Amino acid sequence: MKKGVYYSFIFVMLFSFFAFGDSKDIGTISEELLMKRAEAWNNILSEDYSYSDFYNEISSVATAELLVEDLETFSYLKENPTGMERVKSLELLPEKIEKQKNKAIVKGKIIWNMEGYEGTEVVESHYQIALEKYNRNWYIAELEPIE
């Protein structure tokens, strides 16, 4: 009898891990990817930061439409320098997470701590973040503001 309960418990734990393993971590994964993306964007402020440097960093966190947009924006900003604020930190407060196999949608608020010419500024905005999983790694596919 004890063996049956023990094996049932192990089965339930393994099933839970494989079926829902990422779902509770998707918010954390999203926040980490957003911060890595922000770090890549912060590096644009360095004069010797090249397109290939940016590509290597950004392609480790972004994919699909977002990757294309980021690469186009990087090229534009390198050709047309403008004032840009540095992301010091950010916090993602997920409000809703939907996960299906290798895709996830996170809706929530991002609190950005920005550093500009006039000091530090806190900006809060709501976003929908689409994630896609390839070869065991998650990537941001879309990052859209929500009104």
Predicted confidence (pLDDT) per residue in 85-124, tens digit: 999 999 999 999 999 999 999 999 999 999 988 889 999 9
The class (CATH top level) of 2-145 is alpha beta
Query: What integer best gives the mean pLDDT of the chain?
Result: 86
Q: Say if pTM beats, i.e. exceeds, 0.85.
A: no
Sequence spans of domains, the chain: 2-145
Whether residue 86 contacts residue 116, with contact meaning beta carbons closer than 8 Å, is answered with yes
